[in-house]
Amino acid sequence: MEENAALRLENLQAQGPAVNPSGREQPLIRAQCHIRMGNSSDAAHLFVSTISREHDVIMGSLYTVFCTLSLVGNGVLLLVAYRKRLSLKPAEFFIINLSISDLGMTLSLFPLAIPSAFSHRWLFGDVTCQVYALCGVLFGLCSLTNLTALSFVCCLKVCFPNHGNKFSASHACVTVVGVWSYASVFAAGPLARWGHYTAEPYGTACCIDWRAPNRELAALSYIVCLFAFCYALPCAVIFLSYAFILLTVRGSQQAVQQHVSPPQTRPGNAHALIVKLSVAVCIGFLGAWTPYAVVSMWAAFGDADSVPPVAFAVAAILAKSSTIYNPMVYLLCKPNFRKCLYRDTSTFRQRMCRGSPQPDQKEHFGSASQRKDRKDASVSTRVSNGRPESYGACLDFSDEGSQGAAQAAPQRTASVLTGASYSEVIVGQLPARLQAGFL
């Protein structure tokens, strides 16, 4: 479109100015207006949905569910990690970093993708499209690279314990910084004209321009490097790491059971649990992103026009579902995270039941009456209704117990001093002479 407009502009300039009836020359203005209208129409065409409105509604609804689950799950996981920050293991630093990257993807992508899906077009312009695509690539690559580092650390601890036991929290922090730097290099590439960011083929989101390799060598090299170093290599490292772990565990299981006492196996059991949970997270993440990688490579190295937009839409939905796997696995399956979450939940529930009472005159009166009762304990006899009161407690009564309490009349009791101690008896069980004295 731009080349044709440029040719028309050159032809108009070669023919000379055309004079309108008023005598003013306007060919250049007309040509420039035509070019500007062509560019705006192309941009508007890119940001219109190419799938049905029903599919967009389904996509927006699923994104809403993913956004809610991701915010709650990752937020709770980060809160639990903060509460137990003094006892975190080095491998758990990568779990926290993965939760941060998932939360970043949730906050940067879903608020833009959800209204666009329901509106059946991209609503936020070209500049926001570039930022959206940058955040999607950055947080997605960070999550995959983070899982790669986690699998490598688990392999070191299980297969090479002499080196793995030296991996400390400071090493984990340095590795996390390296993970973000590695992802940032490839995410910033299209901003430096190494590849391009544009609208997705289905029109309501933005990502890498998968059609550019068909016409640009720089874009082709970017896609090749992205696939090799940000998908194929991490997947190979993850697969080999957990394969070595599995072989090592199977080969040494009998020896460990015979020569290691139960108290010494507890650290090994903790490492084994971290490995199992890491495998579950990796399988979920790779299962979510693999369809998108397959469809993208199909468009980049095959006929891009033959890829249905619905295929890109389904692959994008699966990719964004990766933000909910990490908190679900670790909050539900890791014992120390689960115990910490249960303890915090119980504390919050107790505070809600009590209603966070503030000290007032009623409580002050209750404490004064308690002091008075303790003072009257030295008297030979004391009469009460036998039903002490409890303030500020959240109690549960069964229906049968509540009915019995309503039907039973309160009984008077008396405290009888015998030597240095006293006992409490029902007034009705005392002799008539003593009952008459009380009454």
**How many Cβ atoms sit within 10 Å of the Cβ of residue 167?**
17
Other Cβ atoms within 10 Å of 311 Cβ, number: 17
Region 52-347: CATH code: 1.20.1070.10
Q: What is the pLDDT of residues 150-173, one digit of tens each?
A: 889 988 888 888 888 888 899 999
Order of strands, sheet of 383-384, starting from the edge strand that comes earlier in the sequence: 383-384, 413-418, 421-426
- pLDDT exceeds cutoff 60 at 384: no
More reliable by pLDDT, 367 or 273: 273
Q: Is the pLDDT score of 402 beyond 60?
A: no
Q: For residue range 62-92, what is the model confidence (pLDDT) as tens digits? A: 999 999 999 999 998 898 888 888 888 888 8
pLDDT score, position 32: 40
Report CA torsion sign: 42, 45, 47, 50.
negative
- Spatial contact of 332 and 338, defined as CB atoms under 8 Å apart: yes
Q: At what angle do helices 169-188 and 125-159 cross, to 10 degrees?
A: 140
Place of tokens 């001093």: 417
Q: Is residue 302 over pLDDT 50?
A: yes
189, 301 contact by CB (below 8 A): no
Judge whether 297 and 227 are in contact, CB under 8 Å. yes
Q: What is the pLDDT of residue 176?
A: 95
Residues 6+ apart with CB under 8 A from 252: none
Specify the amino acid at residue 242: Y
Higher pLDDT, 185 or 379: 185
Q: How much is the pLDDT for 137?
A: 95
Query: E strands within 180-289?
Result: 197-199, 206-208
Beta bridge partners of 396: none
Number of other residues whose CB lies within 10 A of the CB of residue 28: 13
- The ranges assigned to domains in the chain are 2-39, 52-347
| Nearest in space to 343 (alpha carbons), one of 79, 91, 73, 88 | 79
- pLDDT tens-digit map of 334-368: 666 667 766 766 776 677 777 554 444 444 444 44
Measured at the alpha carbon of residue 225, what is the angle toward residues 156 and 148, in degrees to the nearest 5?
Answer: 20
CB 147 within 8 Å of CB 238? yes
pLDDT confidence tier of residue 269, bands split at 50, 70 and 90: low
User: Binning pLDDT at 50, 70 and 90, where does residue 214 land?
Assistant: confident
Which residues, in sequence order, are CB contacts of 425 under 8 Å at separation 6+? 413, 414, 416
**Residue 211, pLDDT score:** 87
Which is more confident, 417 or 172? 172
Ordered DSSP codes for 258-310: HHS-HHHHHHHHHHHHHHHHHHHHHHHHHHHHHHHHHHHHHHHHS-GGGS-HH
DSSP lists the bridge partners of residue 414 as 383, 425
Q: pLDDT digit string (tens) for 316-330? A: 999 999 899 888 887
At residue 259, the pLDDT reads 57
Tell me which H or E stretch contains 223.
helix 217-227
At residue 302, φ and ψ (nearest 5 deg) are: -120, -150
Question: What pLDDT, on the 0 to 100 scale, is given for residue 80?
Answer: 86
* pLDDT at residue 412, as a whole number: 64
Distance, in Å, from the CA atom of 246 to the CA atom of 234, rounded to the nearest integer, reads: 18
Q: What is the pLDDT of residue 141?
A: 94
Q: What per-residue confidence (pLDDT) applies to 385?
A: 42
Q: Report whether 51 contacts 202 (CB < 8 A).
A: yes
pLDDT tens figures, 228-253: 999 999 999 999 988 888 888 777 76
- Rounded Cα gap, residues 424 and 416, in angstroms: 6
The pairing of strands 413-418 and 421-426 is antiparallel
The Cα 280–Cα 287 span in angstroms is: 11
* Percent helix, strand and coil across the chain, each to the nearest 5: 75, 5, 20
CA distance 402 to 143: 55
Local confidence band at 391 (pLDDT 50, 70, 90 cut-offs): very low
- The average confidence (pLDDT) of the chain is 75
Of 17-26, 29-38, 247-256, the least confident: 29-38
Whose tokens are 């059609």? That residue is: 211
Q: Specify the range with the lowest mean pLDDT, choosing from 145-149, 210-214, 364-368.
A: 364-368
Q: Looking at residue 12, what is its pLDDT? A: 42
Read off the pLDDT of each residue in 292-313 and give the average, rounded to a whole number: 89
Q: How many helices (H) and strands (E) does the chain have?
A: 16, 5
Give the pLDDT confidence score for residue 433 in this predicted structure. 60
Mean pLDDT of 166-185: 93
Lowest mean pLDDT among 72-76, 276-280, 329-333, 398-402: 398-402
State the pLDDT at residue 35. Answer: 36
- CB atoms near residue 263 (< 10 Å): 7
Evaluate whether 41 touches 67 at the Cβ level (below 8 Å): no
User: Which residues make Cβ contacts (< 8 Å) with residue 46, sequence separation at least 6?
Assistant: 122, 198, 199, 203
Q: What is the distance between the alpha carbons of residues 423 and 233, in angstroms, rounded to a whole number? A: 80
